[in-house]
Structure 1
């Protein structure tokens, strides 16, 4: 059996001098986003010199090697859209694999091998950059363990991406119950994206308890760098809209939009098949597409009020969702996995924000039914309960 932990997919691996968390940093899932790879290649060898002051294990892992070598987002398919259980189950049966399927298969074997060798707290961090100008920010699946950990970082946090994208790697990790967060460091070509990623690596290691401030005095500078780069936007936002387009469609954003820029309902944003795309909402534009590969034109986000975040956490701790199936039109589809089936004809009075409060996100809509999934019941809370951030 191949030993994946010693494969060339590992940028660098550190075994600290003390017992502690296991942290997996992923970079280059998209091959035109090298900032994370460059940051890990710089930071991890430097940390090796102080491994006696490090607790636990640290892995720097390359995502899409072929795409990185060609500086393309992907070769055949977007590697960060393939992590769907039904699709992955069929992978073993295929005799001919696309490039990204080969990469996913090897990544999965590596992840499983690392998980099998540890019983301590596990953290999965995925590094990205954007095609548009942007503040650095975090994206997470909406589970309380992710919220609690992510809020430590002085950057904007965006919830709900799992409701709009099928198959991100971190959604698959979250289904397993582990803390998993994505960090978008800035624009692809901006050298500050590398510096932001370096700062995020050090802060992650500090917040997980892998390193301490007394041994790494630059942690204050790392924190300040991200705080200043994010302006006054250390808030929590939620995705409310995604404009998608097909493989053969013609889509072009209007020039000059930046992530988190305020937009108004009716504003011209893009051209799609020679038709003007106007904003359906007032809010903030998020990750507008300025690259040739991809099918997500732009998102729109709204800020979540602080009281809604607190109410959401309170209701989830009480497990109020146990009562949902007493409501007309709501039933369990897969009770063990906490998947709700909602009949839109008889449950019209239940708006999506209500389900969001309880941690349920739309997985798919089929006719008059919504199937909504929940990350809270699978979250490995016991694994993190003794962590300082928890």
Structure 2
């Protein structure tokens, strides 16, 4: 067992899901780790709480968290593919370096816990923050069960993101992982350095556990729910991805200052620059996750409000 990677673990008396809270997949996003620590401190004040299943808190990229950088050699949340996982599983662990070692150890920990608890299902909540300020939102995996779970978080939902991005935790874990049915949702809790990002993450952990049937409203109050509702009231309930602007090393990408999540943009608006010149919005929409940090492979995303 990798004690440094485990933030906390709690098992109830009743059989139920394995609910994994994952944070720090990017090392410059510590709010999720702080949120998981806070949640387990709060949970310890309810020693007799009726709890179904197991909740496990894990840190993602230990080396990057220590360095305070998004990643060391490669973005961990863009390399979780069957091909890479298959290759690193055949290499001795002491021969692996950087994110390849982090990925191997993380997946080993999940497999170890699945063998230990033999849950009815696996649920993954992957907590992140953004370099830009503005809105909060969830990104469910593409299976309908994950999308239904995201509705219970009480935050805006962005559809199509996990389908567009290769190598994320969502696309690898759901809808099935190691023979267990899996629901997976990522939560973007706010700006990296915003203290409320931690509290909003705690609120989503609690909402997720309630939706999974691990705890009930009566047994575990959610004192930070209002922080989610305050943000959600000003944002579209469901959005869908229109396009993403990729960034490669050496592009010289520089976002124009001042953009916030869900800020409307016009077609042709000057959003950023790189070595080739101005980068204009290809369509009208709302901007998400404009890149205001040196590391990252996506300059910005454009979404539009979803209407059935």
TM bucket (normalised to shorter chain) is over 0.9
Report the alpha carbon displacement of residue 212 of structure 1 after superposing the two structures with TM: 1.4
CA distance in 2, matches of 1:92, 1:147: 30
Which consecutive residues of structure 2, in runs of 5 or more, have no partner in the other structure?
none
Report the alpha carbon displacement of residue 274 of structure 1 after superposing the two structures with TM: 4.9
Instruction: Name 1:381's counterpart in structure 2.
Output: none
Report the alpha carbon displacement of residue 175 of structure 1 after superposing the two structures with TM: 4.7
Deviation per residue, 1:198-232 (Å, 9 max, x gap): 1111111222121112222x32x433320112233
Of 187, 193, 218, the residue aligned with 1:214 is: 218
Instruction: Name 2:18's counterpart in structure 1.
Output: 22
Indicate how the Cα distance of structure 1 residues 93 and 147 shifts in structure 2: closer, same or farther if over 3 A, else same.
closer
Contact 2:15 2:119 in 1 (8 A): no
Instruction: Name 1:48's counterpart in structure 2.
Output: 44
Instruction: Name 1:350's counterpart in structure 2.
Output: none
Instruction: Name 1:73's counterpart in structure 2.
Output: 70
Task: Please list, as runs of the form range in 1=range in 2, the aligned pairs for 1:1-390 lying within 5 A after superposition.
Answer: 4=1, 7-53=3-49, 54-94=51-91, 96-116=95-115, 117-176=117-176, 177-216=181-220, 218-219=221-222, 221-305=223-307, 307=308
Which consecutive residues of structure 1, in runs of 5 or more, have no partner in the other structure?
308-390
Contact 2:152 2:207 in 1 (8 A): no
Indicate how the Cα distance of structure 1 residues 113 and 21 shifts in structure 2: closer, same or farther if over 3 A, else same.
same
Instruction: Name 1:323's counterpart in structure 2.
Output: none
Which of the two has higher C-alpha Rg? 1
Contact 1:10 1:60 in 2 (8 A): yes
Report the alpha carbon displacement of residue 94 of structure 1 after superposing the two structures with TM: 4.3
Contact 2:141 2:183 in 1 (8 A): no
Which stretch shifts more, 55-64 or 17-26?
17-26
Report the alpha carbon displacement of residue 93 of structure 1 after superposing the two structures with TM: 4.3
CA distance in 1, matches of 2:218, 2:272: 50
3-state SS in 2 of match to 1:108: helix
Deviation per residue, 1:337-361 (Å, 9 max, x gap): xxxxxxxxxxxxxxxxxxxxxxxxx
TM-score (norm 1): 0.74
3-state SS in 1 of match to 2:66: helix
Report the alpha carbon displacement of residue 136 of structure 1 after superposing the two structures with TM: 1.5
Which has the bigger relative contact order, CA under 8 A and spacing at least 6? 2
TM-score (norm 2): 0.93
RMSD: 1.6
Contact 1:154 1:234 in 2 (8 A): no
3-state SS in 2 of match to 1:52: coil
Contact 2:175 2:183 in 1 (8 A): no
3-state SS in 1 of match to 2:233: coil
